[in-house]
Amino acid sequence: MKPILVMMLCALFAFWGLIACAAPPQPSNDPADVQAIKQLEIDMGDAMVAVDIERLKSVWADDWVATGPSGKSIDKEAILRRYQSRATELRAFELGPMDVQVFGDVAMCQGSATETKIREGKDISGTYLWMDILRKRAGRWVVVQSIGAKVK
């Protein structure tokens, strides 16, 4: 019994060694994917300004979650309700440069935005840094996770 256990442990350690030594995935950065993701980011901002709930539903994956400047998380249904009720209003935005890294069907996009924004009657306008993690599902990119921080 002990020789089998020893062989299993050796195999497990060898497997973990291969994983630990494996090269990290390199970005493919297909220009078509990079452009599609940048356009998706622009479309998302435009949809927030226009309160285009149907467009936002298609941009954010059903399992989308965001962590905002307060450190609190919000899911897709909650953010859609905030925009629909006008509890959150993005009145205008200007995106800064975006950096996109594509790794097969997963991508990261980060950038900045200067926003004119109202939340629950309070002006929270300013410059924000953000990062979205995207996944290609059914042949199209969707945002699966977002994080943002206000910088000024």
Cα separation, 77 vs 74, in Å, equals 8
Kindly report the average pLDDT of the chain as a whole number.
86
Lowest mean pLDDT among 30-34, 67-71, 139-143: 67-71
Q: Is residue 27 within 8 Å of 101, Cβ to Cβ?
A: yes
117 HSE (CA, 13 A, CB side): 18
Phi, psi for residue 15 in degrees, rounded to 5: -60, -50
Q: Is residue 98 within 8 Å of 134, Cβ to Cβ?
A: no
Position with higher pLDDT, 9 vs 56: 56
Length of the chain: 152
Q: Where are the beta strands (DSSP E) in the chain?
A: 60-67, 73-75, 88-103, 106-119, 122-123, 126-137, 140-150
pLDDT digits (tens, 9 = 90+) for 92-137: 999 999 999 999 999 999 999 999 999 999 999 999 999 999 999 9
pLDDT digits (tens, 9 = 90+) for 6-39: 555 444 445 545 445 555 666 677 899 999 999 9
Read off the pLDDT of each residue in 72-101 and give the average, rounded to a whole number: 95
The correct CATH number of 26-150 out of 3.90.79.10, 3.10.450.50, 3.30.70.580, 2.102.10.10 is 3.10.450.50
Residue 75 pLDDT greater than 70, yes or no? yes
Q: Is residue 40 within 8 Å of 141, Cβ to Cβ?
A: yes
Give me the pLDDT at residue 68, please.
85
